[in-house]
Amino acid sequence: MEYLGSFRISASGMAVEKTRLDIAALNIANMHSAGATPGAVYRPLQLLAQSVTLSFAQQFGQQYGQLRFSGGGVRVASVEPQDVAPRMVYEPGHPYADAKGFVAYPGVDHTAEMMNLNSALRAYEANVAALGAAKAMAARALEIGGK
């Protein structure tokens, strides 16, 4: 059985979830950074992940032991700014206040970002558990083969 493929899939999932954690932390960190104009304010980021699929030849060869495992898992497709309106807060004494006294802040949804943090953390933990299970199976196979 090909254990390295299982390790690669779990590792790719952990890398994507780590990036999701970083992006959510970045969005939360910039949540209160004001901009001089609504166009100059920080725009929250979002991660788009994409599965890495095997071609038919790779799947067919893998099934019959002709090819080594060379793909699978997930990867970061892109990190793009979200198209959300800035949050306008009435603060007439702020240096960035407009003529009406409003200051533009990023349109970061704190609740959604915390949910992203939680789901990324749980997915990371699931990948760690899958990696641990594959490692245990590989170790057990070596024990059985050594006797």
pLDDT tens digits, the chain, 147 residues: what are they? 567 778 888 999 999 999 999 999 999 999 999 988 888 999 999 999 998 876 666 656 555 554 455 567 888 999 999 999 999 999 999 999 999 999 999 999 999 999 999 999 999 999 999 999 989 988 888 888 766
pTM summary value: 0.80
**Cβ atoms 27, 46 nearer than 8 A:** no
Question: Do 73 and 89 sit in the same domain of this protein?
Answer: no
Domain count, the chain: 2
3-class secondary structure, 34: coil
Question: Do 55 and 90 sit in the same domain of this protein?
Answer: no
Own/partner long-range contacts of 133-142 (Cβ < 8 Å, ≥24 apart): 134/3, 134/6, 134/7, 134/10, 135/3, 135/7, 137/1, 137/3, 138/3, 141/1
**Cβ atoms 44, 106 nearer than 8 A:** yes
Question: Do 20 and 88 sit in the same domain of this protein?
Answer: no
Q: Which residue matches tokens 């083969």?
A: 145
Question: Do 77 and 128 sit in the same domain of this protein?
Answer: yes
Closest of 43, 62, 45, 66 to residue 54, by C-alpha: 62
Rounded to 5°, the CA angle 89-30-36 comes to 50
Question: Do 100 and 56 sit in the same domain of this protein?
Answer: no
Domain assignment of residue 91, given as a range: 33-44+83-107
Q: What are phi and psi of 102, to 5 degrees?
A: -100, 140
Question: Do 88 and 140 sit in the same domain of this protein?
Answer: no
Angle between helical axes of 110-146 and 3-29 (0-180°, round to 10): 160
Question: Do 121 and 71 sit in the same domain of this protein?
Answer: yes
